[in-house]
Structure 1
């Protein structure tokens, strides 16, 4: 069973919708385009989580346990599958810690 990332971000850097399109251009200025594959559109989100060291450590532990594995996250588009290959590494700085992550949408059959 796939796990769910349940922490709520304190700030979002926004999302990006990416498309994979196959194009053919012809000499007379005419071109054709079509989506490339079944999942030609995917999304990514940059999120920041702020809180106690314990909270941030829990998030890092979850992400470390899911390297190369998908997890569910409640995105603005609904509960979808994501992976996180990139996150900041927080340095101790008082009582408040933060981590910035990039979630990229994945698909499974």
Structure 2
């Protein structure tokens, strides 16, 4: 599972690949339609799609001469489940932490003055 998560997070690290995933949230798309909004070559888009496919984030399917891409939410679900394990921790409240440190400084100052 660790290798799969590594692939998912590596694929998500690139903004072009995240944009592609956002586009595929709307509907399945042909590779040429995926490439249209980007100012990069079709070959570069194909490499991004291959990375997303290896990570299990998309599925590519040939229909006649056209290769279609569709989102496969399974890999994202596994990554989401892993990340939810970190939700058990309370968010750090910096103001409260700062007040605690100030109070501790006063206590230590009082001890030093005794």
Quick check: TM above 0.5? no
Of structures 1 and 2, the one scoring higher in RCO (CA 8 A, sep 6+) is 1
* TM-score relative to the length of structure 2: 0.33
More strand by share: 1
* TM-score relative to the length of structure 1: 0.34
